[in-house]
Amino acid sequence: MTQVDPLQYKISSKTKILNLARRLFMLPIAENWLAKRTSNKKASSFWCKLIPPEYLYHRNSYRTIKVNDATLRLNISNVVDHAAFWGYEDKAASFFLSQLHREHTVIDIGANIGIFSTYAAIRSNRVISIEPDIRNFSRLEENLALNNITNATALNVGLGCRAGKKRLYRVVESNPGMNRVMDKEIDAPYTEIQIETLDRIIENLNISKIDIVKIDTEGYEMNILNGAINCLEKFKPSMMLEIDDRLLRLQSSSTLEILHFLKGRGYDIYDITNERIIMDLSIQMPVHFDIWCSVSRFN
């Protein structure tokens, strides 16, 4: 059985001392004051270094905020919610927002609690939001409802290269964004979920147009792409993917496999994280980065 690092926190003495000061910013007035100063700042900035980490908060520490025209209910004891609440720089989110247009149909795969889906639904014509974890899915529906969104279809299902049953593992309790489908058994809690292909979902929903597909599935991206061949050939959507070579290799895939797959289908690839167009696949790639793929040439 494959072992997965549970990412237990190893807190240094220096961090423990700094956390004593950070706890001051857990007080409501100080929290709101600091949140105004961390918005759109680099994570390495002075203000962001004062942010209390998510593990200092009690479980189910909820906050409701307005950001990017969306109302979001966030549990800041979870990593994804915590980052959204403090609002520090997120190049992928900013780039995604810049590409949305009113006439677009958007598919959000690995939607988590619905942050990207909510942003897209407010700015686009139609959103298909896909999230396999039932707890994340419940909060996804909650965030869509908070914004009175009627142009989003939320599906509690996983995606892969073929239909069937798979295990969805929860590897870090405080970070449900790291929940992942694994073909190998690992030593972590799991639930059994239904897997469909994107091609089948598009056919069942009678979707006639797809403009943008976002995929963030903790290393399962290649499996999903292999189940979306008809979609890619028919609609040629732009795509945003989170790429992590370490997670891909746990799924018997790799960064280069995905990049070659995309290039072979006529996609140009932009590295959002490092702000560069990827032309030469023989150069060394980062371990973790976000990419935007388009069949339209980049300027």
Location of each CATH 3.40.50.150 domain in the chain: 91-294
Q: State mean pLDDT over 181-197.
A: 91
- pLDDT-derived band of residue 9, with 50, 70 and 90 as boundaries? low
- pLDDT-derived band of residue 98, with 50, 70 and 90 as boundaries? very high
99 CB-side CA count, 13 A: 23
Does the pLDDT of residue 49 top 70, yes or no? Answer: yes
Q: State mean pLDDT over 144-159.
A: 98
pLDDT of residue 258: 98
- pLDDT-derived band of residue 48, with 50, 70 and 90 as boundaries? very high
Does the pLDDT of residue 1 top 60, yes or no? Answer: no
Does the pLDDT of residue 145 top 50, yes or no? Answer: yes
Question: In angstroms, rounded to a whole number, what is the distance separating the alpha carbons of residues 53 and 111?
Answer: 23
| CATH number of this structure's domain 91-294, picked from the four choices 3.30.200.210, 3.30.70.360, 3.30.390.30, 3.40.50.150 | 3.40.50.150
pLDDT of residue 40: 95
Output the six-digit token pair for 62: 């909820």
Q: State mean pLDDT over 49-54.
A: 96
Q: State mean pLDDT over 248-262.
A: 96
Higher pLDDT: 2 or 183? It is 183
CA triple 41-85-215, angle to 5 deg: 90
